[in-house]
Amino acid sequence: MLFGLAWRNVWRNRKRSLVIMTAIALGLSGGLFAVGVFVGIAESMVDSAIDRNLAHLQLHSHAYKANAVINNDLPNAGLLIDSLKQLRTVRGVSGRGVFDGMASSPTANTGVQIIAVNPQDEAAVSSIGRKINEGTYFEEVRQNPVLVGRKLAENLDLRLRSKLVLSFSGKDGSIIFVACRVAGIFETESSLFDGGTVYLRHEELTGLTGGEKLVHEVAIRLQSAEQVSETLASVSVMFPNVAVESWKDLAPELKLSAELTGVTMLFFLGIILFALLFGITNTMLMSVMDRVREFGVLMAIGMKRARVFNLIVLETLILSLTGGVIGGIVGALIVRTFASVGIDLSAFADGLSAYGISAVLYPFVPGEIYLQLSFLVIVTAVVAAVYPGFKATQMKPARAIRAYT
């Protein structure tokens, strides 16, 4: 009955209640959309980095971790890769030769990272094959096909089938030169990556290094991102002499960015609710002052102050949660709509690619944000009810009954 009374009291001044409920709903739906955009940005940075070349887990020799030179390759990499492919959680494994070198075109040269891959294995681990927007994935060029990033192509004035000379130190310290032709030009979300990476097939590298297959890095893609910790633990046990790291260890700045986004967004929603708190308090205070006589009567006939206070809290909760639920639903619908069609930010593509962010953004609000938001709305309502509730309980029944309200 007390809930019924509170509910009906909320609707006594329909216009006033609707105004504050609309304010709460607008504030929260706007806030949720903003959260969705920022989480979407953070997710885009993480996802595109994992997709591009980071993968979920990477294995290196400890020597390579200390000094990333061509000599510090992983011994018995073939066996290691075969074992990893057997794991239930693993979707793909790619053994990569990764070392620094120089790329020279007839017009310019620049330092690059050369990544030697088995195209089929790499396709199961990274999205590089799908990022080729000119040419093919190592096809249609017979001898020494390479993939270059769009930015590198621009810097070295390269086109499809252009000649490119790669030079790097061999294991014996000699300089190896190899003439290649551009088979494909890729464009990822990161202009930094695109400007300094060349993909080469393993079979070419093996030919250049005297028949030895050099693997410096084993990249593992899992069935789900949720399996990272579990797989990291089991792979570390399987290969105790190898450095096993997750994407969070390999790119701590991405981990920090993802974690900070969650905290920042909660803080952001907190600020919105803090501003709404004053509006809710004001509405409830007006409601209490409109009912001075009624509170006087309630206390005269035997309603204890604690119960009067609870009635105000209940009314505030109804007001806030109704607005909050509407805001949550509207916000979720907006996020869902944009999550399916995406937000086209191609006008800012250059700036975004410098940070590895996709030009089409897909907002996303994690489920726990809704839970945390519900908790925040409840806390806000209770805090907003304190002052009006206190005012109501401080009324003197004899005087309040005679109030002209």
Partner 1 sequence: MAIIELQGITKTYKESSVPVHALRGIDLSIDKGEFAAIVGPSGSGKTTLLNIIGGLDRPTNGTVRIDGTDISTMKPEELIDFRLHHIGFVFQSYNLIPVLTAKENVEFVLLLQNVSRSERDQQAMDVLARVGLAERAGDRPSELSGGQQQRVAVGRALASKPSFVLADEPTANLDSTTAESLLDLMEHLNRDRAMTFVFSTHDPRVMKRARRILTLEDGMITSDARQDEQRP
Quick one: 68 or 289, whose CB is closer to partner 1? 289
User: To the nearest whole angstrom, how small is the minimum distance from the Cβ of residue 22 to partner 1?
Assistant: 22
Contact 189, 352 (CB under 8 A): yes
Q: Please select the residue that binds partner 1; options are 123, 303, 343, 382, rule is CB under 8 A.
A: 303
398 near partner 1, judged by CB under 8 A: yes
User: To the nearest whole angstrom, how small is the minimum distance from the Cβ of residue 261 to partner 1?
Assistant: 45
14 near partner 1, judged by CB under 8 A: no
Amino acid of residue 355: Y
311 near partner 1, judged by CB under 8 A: no
At 236, is the secondary structure helix, strand, or coil? helix
x-or-dash pattern for partner 1, window 279-298, by CB under 8 A? Answer: --------------xx--xx
Concatenated DSSP letters for 155-178?
A: HTT--TT-EEEEEEE-TTS-EEEE
Q: Please select the residue that binds partner 1; options are 301, 340, 347, 367, rule is CB under 8 A.
A: 301
Local structure of residue 195 (DSSP, 8 states): T
Size of the site for partner 1 (CB under 8 A): 22
Quick one: 5 or 341, whose CB is closer to partner 1? 5
At 359, is the secondary structure helix, strand, or coil? coil
At 111, list the tokens. 């330092």
x-or-dash pattern for partner 1, window 48-87, by CB under 8 A? Answer: ----------------------------------------
User: To the nearest whole angstrom, how small is the minimum distance from the Cβ of residue 267 to partner 1?
Assistant: 39
Of 361, 363, 368, the closest CA to residue 335 belongs to 363
At 151, is the secondary structure helix, strand, or coil? helix
Contact 384, 373 (CB under 8 A): no
Residue 126 φ then ψ, to 5°:
-125, 170
Of 26, 15, 5, the closest CA to residue 272 belongs to 26
307 near partner 1, judged by CB under 8 A: yes
181 near partner 1, judged by CB under 8 A: no
161 near partner 1, judged by CB under 8 A: no
Quick one: 3 or 274, whose CB is closer to partner 1? 3
Contact 180, 166 (CB under 8 A): yes
1 near partner 1, judged by CB under 8 A: yes
Whole-number Å distance between alpha carbons of 84 and 62: 18
Which parts of this chain interact with partner 1 (CB under 8 A)? 1-2, 4-5, 8-9, 12, 293-294, 297-305, 307, 397-398, 401
